[in-house]
């Protein structure tokens, strides 16, 4: 799958905007990103919004990610 990072996350991943990652679900994807980019780990732990093939998921932990999917990650936005 191709993972795209929003600007805030990109800064924590060495400036990379996108890269390929293999993962069966969103939880596994976030774990692999945290391992590869330790600076991303705290942001990922606070929570990120996950869009898979253009569909935004609120609780995406176990959401399967189809082969060849495009995944977009961005920090969660809290309202008040």
Nearest Cα neighbor of 29 from 77, 69, 76 is 69
Residue 78 has pLDDT above 70, yes or no: no
Fold of 2-75: Ubiquitin-like (UB roll) (3.10.20)
pLDDT tens for 4-27 read 999 989 999 999 999 899 999 999
Residue 77 has pLDDT above 80, yes or no: no
Q: What is the pTM of this model?
A: 0.85
Domain spans, the chain:
2-75
Q: What is the DSSP string of 45-58?
A: HH-EEEEETTEEES
For residue 76, the tally of other CB atoms under 10 A from its CB is 11
pLDDT tens for 23-58 read 999 999 999 999 999 999 999 998 899 999 999 987
């Amino acid at each position: 799958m191709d993972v795209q990072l929003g600007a805030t996350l990109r800064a924590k991943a060495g400036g990379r905007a996108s890269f390929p990652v293999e993962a069966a679900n969103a939880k596994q994807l976030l774990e692999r990103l945290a391992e590869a980019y330790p600076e991303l780990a705290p942001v990922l732990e606070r929570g990120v919004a996950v869009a898979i093939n253009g569909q935004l998921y609120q609780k995406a932990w176990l959401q399967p990610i189809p082969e060849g999917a495009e995944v977009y990650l961005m920090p969660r936005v809290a309202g008040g």
